[in-house]
Structure 1
């Protein structure tokens, strides 16, 4: 490293820049007791930090778990202002994340999945070391130090981390570098904050569009111009109920014919199964209507199971663990759908499969192309995506819900957008994160109210939304690109900082090598003095023991 540094710089191993703790170690790891699920919010109560308390360059003290009163706190593990914290276990992206604690409430302990570092300020400035640990090239070095068999669970061991080499400028230059980084980052932060605000406003605008769409306000003018395309919803509902009953009666007739043929054939084979009548769907009550938005006269609220296809399991969840285990997974066969596929709208992501035989056993949980798939677990649940037309039939897993809408009456994109809207999420009780429930059952979903209008109007709403969402997505992409450029600029600044190119060198600064030699000599002298004192004390103890004897 040193041949690429300015002449007044040197390098050292990370432990040489740190103060020792009471046990002589310079890199301290925490403690992971069995804590309460809720955080410690009072300065009088002890809490143990979660790894989520450590964000890149940011300490979040609220991310902790309450230490039970029956456990004695390990007070030597308490976090103090000036500490540098680093995660040392977890998924690849979360192992090795660093932040400087500039301020903190008392009585917070580090956990066993993080390191606590305290800088020797006679050698290195804390902000300088934190910035170095956050620089991309440093992160790459640390990433190579991690051990583990899977990216989902890695460890950064003390032995490996202690080999990290740090570039060391003179102390005064470190201070100048830190001041320059803070100045430049402050300008970037202001721009990033504006970009994030703009992106948040796009999200609000998206939900505003959805709200207007499903209250009939987006197509108000369209309805006035196309009265011939408006079949009243009450008429649509009556037709649906009539068709459901007619289909069941036809199934009964077909079944009776099949039974007669089976009996005439000497009752060979299995007796034909009697068709199951679809459960009657209740009308929306006056009480429910009282809390729902008012709809145009041609629209109506109904329950989703009335708009499900006329077939068993058109609305249902994935199999429970007793029916589908991890041991059933194969490398080929019928694909499985997980929460991550729905939330990312990527059904080819990290595919897993089950055998054709297992899929046949789980036929009731199959997802066909163009089915609506919904997350019933997550933070928050209720995300909806359309299973792509080009994908093969799949099996949904236990945390997913399937909604196969009724063709001829329902536009899939219309109902997918509605499920993703605030209007639906409010009904599911998912609008307040951390307070409301975090799980959707089939019955819970069936209890929601969904709007019904004529199919041509549904398609017009989808057209308008797609047009508007395309513009929103383009703006979001531009903002995301600007945010990436801002992060790249930060890293460019850090790279210059740790190669001596960010601020000019001052010939009057004491070279870092001279500083380090003096401090090493002082440490050696202090250690020798301490050793001598221990030797004298030991001799005195032995002499006293001989006198007593």
Structure 2
């Protein structure tokens, strides 16, 4: 029995399109669902399950015989080179069964593979000129050919005229990263006089097989995996050789069925595009709606207005909080309400923040008298224009420096010669604004520096330098007794806990009020953003009475725990949707 007969079924395989369409929307809504749908469409197409077979179609065996005759004629006329023989197809090679009248064939028997040209690096230009030809590179091969960023090289580097690309050529990346090697795009237009391809590309020029159908085959997960697995690997680059490309097995139906498959795939891919765009628009509109509602809540002028806004939004939480991004937005709104004094009620019996500031001023005078600090130049009071919003009764605006924080930049990563090993906290030890001791390092530090750079419970580490604007200036609370120091990527801030609780100060550091101010103070050098002690000291802080700080911290902790639970439920729902979508796709494939 021949390999092709053993590898096909005696009945038509078209079974999948009705259930596929029936569940299209449900699968698309799952995380990664549209990507799975695209892969499924291609898989069904090349397995003969996407469109019905027509028994009156010319069988693929006749088509392949015609291709062999055509290639033999072209070889005889000297228009193409004679190929090296490819091995016969063995039963065990075929990855899946084909419908009646389909055939398995090796890629090299139905296409000419034309390698790209090579040229010295100093011979390329960005501008066209007489005697130069456009040259496609791997960066030009995306989902379609990108013509905007061409190189131009002297036409003399082109060895053979067949290296000029033609409409309906398929261009393949032959040397690229492992994820991108084997990527293909079809030439639908040539917007310049003529063009060729560089040495890391090849052109696949089909013989009597629809290029659009061959594109479907080459973009299936089966083909992509086969090419990637067969590619040789250097340090960063995977390479596909002709010796691996030509023997690739491809399924071949009749030309008439190829045409029907191409039309159906185009139709279903357009539907995927629509669902994808609709999903994007829905996500943008959802974000805008949630943002507007949460902004209105965060910007409430009074506690009464905040309560009204909260009651207005709360009945719609099931719609608003159906994705993690809006849960994140809610959590930031909670922080905003917290630092504005709108999250918990005020207690008139609390000692006002003005009394705390009076104690701080007395302490400052004491330290000046004792020679511990120098008397600084008096600063003007905080003007109404500087205050971002009105504060509740009993609160005060204060520059952070006026609370007499102790700042200390961190230790050099080199450590001290002859010192004793001690754990040093690095940026890598900060996970989600928390200190992680799962993978710490040690450096040698002498006893004096170990004390200088040591950490106490309630200290706050501030990220001093990084390339990311989201990371620089972060407040990280040390909520434990640690036998560790910190590196010079941090500033340590130690505060009088009789004036402000470190947890409240840490919440303030996470709020948009603090983050937007810190980001406006960045110093940027060589791509690195930096904040210093003076920047942090200049932050305007809304200071509540000490007991209210504790009530705020407790309430934020409670609400954040609810947000974390909601995120986990959303993640569990997404995992379930993904498993259901995967099971459905697998059942059809």
TM-score by length of structure 1 reads 0.56
Closer, same or farther: CA 4–146 of 1 in aligned 2, 3 Å: closer
Among 108, 114, 119, the residue aligned to 1:20: 114
| In structure 1, distance between residues paired with 2:558 and 2:432 | 21
Give the C-alpha shift of residue 127 in structure 1: 6.5
What residue in structure 2 maps to residue 207 of structure 1?
332
What is the 5 A alignment of 1:4-403? 4-7=95-98, 8=102, 10=104, 20=114, 22-23=116-117, 88-89=176-177, 122=210, 125=213, 128=216, 132=220, 142=228, 155-159=236-240, 168=251, 170=253, 171=258, 173=261, 176=264, 183=271, 197=286, 198-219=323-344, 222-223=345-346, 226-229=347-350, 231-246=351-366, 276-277=372-373, 280=376, 285-287=381-383, 289-307=385-403, 309=405, 314-319=406-411, 323-325=412-414, 333-342=421-430, 344-345=432-433, 347-348=435-436, 351-357=439-445, 361=449, 364-375=452-463, 376-377=465-466, 378-380=468-470, 381-389=472-480, 391-398=482-489, 400-403=490-493
| SS of the residue 2:529 aligns to | coil
Distance 2:577 2:529 in 1: 37
Alpha-carbon distance in 1 for matches of 2:436, 2:249 = 42
Distance in 2 (alpha carbons) for counterparts of 1:359 and 1:488: 56
RMSD: 5.7
Q: CA deviation at 1:235?
A: 1.7
Unaligned runs of 5+ in 1: 36-45, 108-113, 149-153, 253-275, 503-549
Q: What is the alpha-carbon distance in structure 1 between the residues aligned to residue 107 and residue 448 of structure 2?
A: 60
In structure 1, distance between residues paired with 2:388 and 2:550: 23
* Contact kept? 1:374, 1:402, Cα under 8 Å: yes
Contact map agreement 2:410 2:453 (CA 8 A) in 1? yes
Distance 1:454 1:289 in 2: 23
SS at the partner of 2:499?
coil
For structure 1, which segment, 120-129 or 387-396, has the greater mean C-alpha deviation from structure 2 after superposition? 120-129
Q: Structure 1 3/140 Cα, relative in aligned 2: closer, same or farther at 3 Å? A: closer
User: How many aligned positions are there?
Assistant: 411
Contact 1:333 / 1:355 at 8 angstroms: preserved in 2?
Answer: yes
> Structure 1's 131 and 277: CA in aligned 2 closer, same or farther, altered over 3 A?
farther
1:406 CA displacement: 2.1
- Show the 5 A alignment for 1:415-430: 415-429=505-519
2:399 and 2:505 mapped to 1: Cα distance? 12
Equivalent pair of 2:460/2:493 in contact (CA under 8 Å)? yes
* Contact 2:137 2:201 survives alignment (8 Å): no
Q: Is the 8 A contact 1:284 1:303 kept in 2?
A: no
Q: Indicate the SS of the match to 2:491.
A: strand
Residues 1:407 and 1:290: Cα distance change in structure 2 (over 3 Å): closer
- After alignment, is 124-133 or 12-21 more displaced? 12-21
Q: Which residues of structure 2 form unaligned runs of 5+? A: 1-91, 127-133, 156-164, 193-198, 287-322
Asked if structure 1 preserves the Cα contact closer than 8 Å seen for 2:407 and 2:491, the reply is: yes
TM-superposed deviation, 1:410: 1.8
1:293/1:342 CA distance change after superposition, 3 Å: farther
Q: 1:159 to 1:347 in 2, by over 3 A?
A: farther
Query: Quick one: distance in 2 between partners of 1:488 and 1:161?
Result: 38
* Matching of residue 450 in structure 1 with residue 541 in structure 2: yes
Mapped contact 1:192–1:483 kept (Cα < 8 A): no
Q: Is the 8 A contact 2:340 2:391 kept in 1?
A: yes
Q: CA deviation at 1:174?
A: 7.0
* TM score, norm. by length of structure 2: 0.53
Change (3 A) 1:470 1:385: same
